Structure 1
Amino acid sequence: MQLTSIFIYCLIPELRQDLPGKKIKRILISQDKKNILILVRDKNEQKGLFFSSHPDFFRTEILSEKEIQGGKINFSPTSFFKHLENTRIQKIEQLDFDRVINISCIRKTKEKEERLDLVMELTGRNSNLILKRSKDERILDCLKKIDPQKSRYRQIGIGLKYNPPPHPEKKNPFKIEKESFEKLLKEEKEKEVGKFLIQTFNGLDDNLSQRICYDSFLKPDAKINQLSPQQKTRFWENFCNIIKDLKIYKISPRIILDENKNPTSLSLFDLPSLSQDKKLEFEKLNSALKEFFKQKIEKEKFIKQKTNLSLLIHKNIFRLEKRLVKLEKDQEEAKDYQKYKRFGDLLIFYQTRIKKGKDKIILKDAFEETQPEVEIEINPLLSPLKNAQAYFKKYKKSKEGQKVIKTRLEKTNSETKELENLLSELEKKEKLSNLEKIKDRLLKLGYSRKKEKIKKEKKKKKLKYSPREFSTSEGLKILVGKSQQENDYLTFHIAKSYDLWFHAQDVGGSHVILKKQTKDQSPSKESITQAAKAAAYFSQARESSKV
């Protein structure tokens, strides 16, 4: 969900209610440099103006003193926007009905009066916070610098003159007349009414489109050329009703939920077509925004942590299963440890008859009544006595090894079962707080490291990795690890929580990541097949007919 120009329009009155007249005291920044917290105060209270340039969660919010003290994000003082400190907020406005908010500030002294503008550009991945002088539009500071290499059309940097983002080509819904609306309907007669609203008018999102269609007794997928004159008139009237309410900020913010109670979008009006259990109502848009993004961010963290835990558990189950195969093989070899003693006894019994230089001999078993022939492999460089001693040593080691192997098998089976149970438990978890018990258990089992150890690891010099890279037929990246370390780096550092992970089943092989371009993208079946083939090819089962 993106903040549209209409959301910004409706948020402006709430910003004006809380901020003008307050003095900017401190500027704080988050560790990832994506979030800024501006602390403002008057005689009565302290508030926080929060801005995020996060590509998925870009937004601005007003925080109460309680929320600031509660530590919404780990912030620290910064030299960014130092010119803004000790100025007083005067005016807040939306620039040109775009996703841009201009906050005018003033600093008065006996000698001079300085006017500054803090510009919040809430434009998706390009979201930015810019401070400029009002008199000459020169930029004093910015959260993100944009040089000619990043954009030929618009540069942002200290000392440059500020140019606003390109204006949307869509129509302003607040300035449309009936005649123009009817003309647009004729021009776009092949379109569905829902898409017509979203694609024609700046700021109209899917929820507003649904509400206008609902009030007009139209299905969003109804074609314009199939509407009767009466339906077109009703369509225009209900469009006007919604725009009229928006103009005077007569809104009823709601968070829209999916079947699992997860937030999917924000709506400025009630959506009567949805059942009540799929909507959360709020008095203020700012409150709805805060709750919506709080839940979305928590869900994102949950998915990421759950995915990482799942990969960690799968990785260790795979490692234990490999160990189990080796132990079972060792156990099978050590099962006949008595024969090594018999070989040693026979070599001593016949030592005078055995000539040095042979790699195997056939002897009659003198200790059996029937005296069957026994083939014994020997080292041609050693004497019969030395070969006998080697077999006695192997006998002793195998005999003791049986006990060790049995203990290790029991432990390995126990750990595998516990990890499988943890994996089953993990799959049922739906909240971030529910993952702590699983983390603690993995820590006790030795499969997870404490934060202190992780911090020390991060201080070490980072290794450079260059995984194999391919492209699918639809242009998606396929990344393939070249080593165990690179596999781990690829899975835990490069891959996003929504990317697709591939690995050949039950055999060693490379980790393969199919990179999605956006979180909501669904790769084609062909892309998934190509990534799966890469995982099969870069595995120990490459030559198998079935992987």
Structure 2
Amino acid sequence: MAFDGITIANIVHELNRNLLDGRINKIAQPETDELLLTIKTPGGQRRLSISASASLPLIYLTEGNKPSPMTAPNFCMLLRKHINNGRITKIWQPKLERIIHFEIEHLDELGDLCKKELIVEIMGKHSNIIFCNEDGTIIDSIKHVSSQISSVREVLPGRTYFIPDTMEKSDPLSVSFAEFQRVLTEKPMPLAKAVYTSFTGISPVVAEEICYLSGIDSALTPRELSEDLLTHLYRQFTLYFEEVTAGHFSPAIYYHGAEPKEFSALPLTHFSQYIRKEYDSISRLLEDYYAEKNTLTRIRQKSVDLRRVVQTALERNRKKYDLQAKQLRDTENREKFKVYGELIHTYGYNLEPGAKKLEALNYYTNEMITIPLDSTKTPQENALKYFEKYNKQKRTFEALTSLIEETRDDISYLESVSNALDIALSEDDLTQIKEELIESGYIRRKFTKKKVKITSKPFHYLSSDGYHIYVGKNNLQNEELTFHFASGNDWWFHAKGIPGSHVIVKTNGEELPDRTFEEAGKLAAYYSKNRGSEKIEIDYIEKKHVKKPKGGKPGFVVYYTNYSLMIDSDISQIKQLED
């Protein structure tokens, strides 16, 4: 979710509580498009990180520090000259734009009191940090924007600062019903899209939330709504933004399992299927959210080579399986050739020389059949030809039956590795998957004296009834959990017939309550290939009935009696423990 105007409003609210009347003590520019301000306030020293990065623009309070370059950039030197030791007298947001104004009071070279403005624009690739005089004249900016770059607005020293109104959006904080109705009904598009394209500061997620709170299908167009429905939508719209005006924010991150999906400054009730983690500070939320997002992005980037190995092997094995299946289908009629040979032996004695066919009674089915013959061969030679054909296809069938089973196992195994890559959360997880692929012969081990240290551990959950549940992240962990960690009376869970994790519930010799069975089933569903499906079939059985097949690949098991349950993959209410 990109920064929207509501998130900016939450940040402004927090900055006013923490930085107002504070003095700027230090100004650093650790990156070409980033500032780090250290501000002394009555409540102590605070650091404000501001990034105008095109890929990830951010502004938040932080406790962390960053090393600065040996020589400060020109923009940093300019700010130090003008506003070092300046007092922040006002922090505000125009309308609900993704812009924050810092009004700073300082003494000039003659000792006279004057004001400057530091304007932070969080606008994706157009983000900028602009330093202005009190009259709005631009002194300088962290990014210069000339007329060759933008035909809408130049951001250069000496130019007058203004907000380009290219989208002609309305202010959601002051819109009347008449204007609300007019701007929406002018747009022949789904309602949610009409909302976020008509008003400043609203993201697609917030537009969906407003429609959800109103009980109106967001896919309808505004013109399909009656005036009563539009009135109801407007009332819900204004109630939502009254919370913004009043500063009643409740920032939270929404997780899909361990992955942060969205964040918001106000509740997202239509995200009920996600785990909600609340924060008392939007700055702390942003720091955590982007740190976790960056970690996941880095893990996905680092797993690219492993995914390529797995995907290449999968494609090769699927092609092999299709070819073997086709060859196996070609052997389906082998019994027919055996019958032909037997019937020629039985009835061929009265055939005339040069006969091209034999019509005979098939004593297996009691039906008349016609058998093609080679007119240049004797009946005995024709019979021998059919027996040879039968024996060849029989040998092919027996060989292919074994080969196709091996190929099917290889595909299942590689799909389980692919699933393990999807749920990997750390470099240690990837290291263990790579080690597994090396042991299975898919990757050649590089000679090194340094032994690979693997510290990846299974996921650890606690059921609502206090039972410990463990989930393998990959096949090596699945093997370890099932055959070395679990006791005979512990319960074992797995998604039926699809790649997924082994889930072990430690019973401590007790009988498990139904709720724990359900929660373990949800975990098996969530950490399977079909994660997100409404209903997934889960097999569960006491661990003592789970066996390792001879010569089986890591994580492969067999069992002959089991219980089953149908469950969803919502694990939002199951507590995860940090080992």
Alignment-derived partner of residue 101 in structure 1 = 100
Q: Secondary structure at the match of 2:173?
A: helix
Q: For residues 102 and 241 of structure 1, do their structure 2 counterparts lie closer, same or farther at Cα, with a shift above 3 Å needed?
A: same
Is the contact between residue 39 and residue 48 of structure 1 (CA under 8 Å) also seen in structure 2? yes
Which secondary structure does the structure 2 equivalent of 1:61 belong to? strand
In 2: Cα distance, 1:95 partner to 1:61 partner = 18
1:393-421 Cα distance to aligned partner (Å, 9 max, x none): xxxxxxxxxxxxxxxxxxxxxxxxxxx9x
Output the amino acid matched with 1:120.
Answer: V
Distance 1:272 1:448 in 2: 54
C-alpha distance in 1 between matches for 2:160 and 2:268: 44
Cα distance, 1:212 vs structure 2: 2.0
Is the alpha carbon distance of 1:433 and 1:41 closer, same or farther for their aligned partners in structure 2, counting shifts above 3 Å? farther
Q: Distance in 2 between matches of 1:27 and 1:288?
A: 24
> What whole-Å deviation, never above 9, does each CA across 1:442-492 have from its counterpart, x for those lacking one?
9x936999xxxxxxxxxxxxxxxxxxxxxxxxxxxxxxxxxxxxxxxxxxx
Residue 283 of structure 1 aligns with which residue? 280
CA contact (8 A) 1:139 1:162 kept: no
Find 1:234's aligned residue among 232, 235, 240: 232
CA–CA separation in structure 2 for the residues paired with 1:37 and 1:309 = 38
Distance 1:159 1:226 in 2: 50
Task: Please state how far the C-alpha of 1:264 moved relative to its aligned partner.
Answer: 2.7
Q: Flag the 1:59–1:448 CA change in 2: closer, same or farther, 3 A.
A: farther
The separation in 2 between residues aligned to 1:424 and 1:438, in whole angstroms, is: 13
Offset of 1:179 from its aligned partner? 2.3
Match of 1:28 in 2: 28
C-alpha contact 2:303 2:430 (8 A) present in aligned 1 = no
Tell me if structure 1 keeps the 8 A contact 2:16–2:91.
yes
Number of the residue aligned with 1:176: 175
CA pair 2-428 structure 1, distance change in 2 beyond 3 A:
closer
Please point out which of 263, 276, 280 is paired with 1:266.
263
Distance 2:201 2:160 in 1: 28
Determine if contact 2:252/2:276 at 8 Å carries over to the other structure.
yes
Contact persistence 1:139–1:161 (CA under 8 A) = no
Aligned to 1:300: 297
Q: Give 1:263 shift.
A: 2.3
Alignment of 1:147-546 (within 5 A): 147-166=146-165, 168-188=167-187, 190-258=188-256, 260-275=257-272, 277-307=274-304, 427=421, 430-434=424-428, 437=431, 445=446
Structure 2 CA distance, aligned partners of 1:175 and 1:34?
Answer: 34
Q: Is 1:81 the counterpart of 2:76 in the alignment?
A: yes
Question: Is the 8 Å Cα contact of residues 95 and 171 (structure 2) preserved in structure 1?
Answer: no
**Quick one: which amino acid aligns to residue 278 of structure 1?**
I
Residue in structure 2 matched with residue 139 of structure 1 by the alignment:
139
Unmatched segments (≥5 aa) in structure 1:
318-419, 450-547
How far does residue 440 in structure 1 lie from its aligned partner after superposition? 11
Structure 2: gaps (5+ residues): 314-413, 439-444, 451-579
- How many angstroms apart in 2 are the aligned matches of 1:309 and 1:25? 48
1:522 aligns to what? none
Is the partner of 1:196 in helix, strand or coil? helix
Asked if the contact 2:54–2:127 (Cα under 8 Å) also holds between the matched residues in 1, the reply is: yes
Asked whether the 8 Å contact 1:115–1:135 carries over to 2, the reply is: no
Equivalent in the alignment of 1:534: none
User: 1:118 is matched with which residue?
Assistant: 118
For residue 58 of structure 1, what is the aligned residue in structure 2? Answer: 57
**Deviation string for 1:171-201 (max 9, x for gaps)?**
111121122223345434x433222212222
Equivalent position SS for 2:189: coil
In the aligned structure 1, how far is the partner of 2:219 from the partner of 2:90?
A: 42
> Counterpart amino acid of 1:116?
K
Q: Is the 8 A contact 2:121 2:127 kept in 1?
A: yes
SS across alignment from 2:200: coil
Structure 2 residue 11 is matched with structure 1 residue 11: yes
CA offsets, 1:54-99, max 9 Å, x none?
Answer: 2232110011xxx22xx4x554462433233222222111135421
Match of 1:378 in 2: none
Distance in 1 (CA, whole Å) between partners of 2:177 and 2:35 is 43
Q: 1:114 to 1:182 in 2, by over 3 A?
A: closer
Matched residue type, 2:243: D
Change (3 A) 1:168 1:249: farther
Q: Measure the CA separation in 2 of the matches of 1:429 and 1:276.
A: 19
- Relative to the length of structure 2, the TM-score reads 0.51
SS of the residue corresponding to residue 273 of structure 1 reads: helix
Residues 4 and 201 of structure 2 are in contact (CA less than 8 Å); yes or no, is this contact kept in structure 1?
A: yes
Equivalent pair of 1:261/1:278 in contact (CA under 8 Å):
no
Identity of aligned residues (%): 20
Whether the 8 Å contact between 2:243 and 2:249 is mirrored in structure 1 is yes
Letter in 2 for 1:244: E
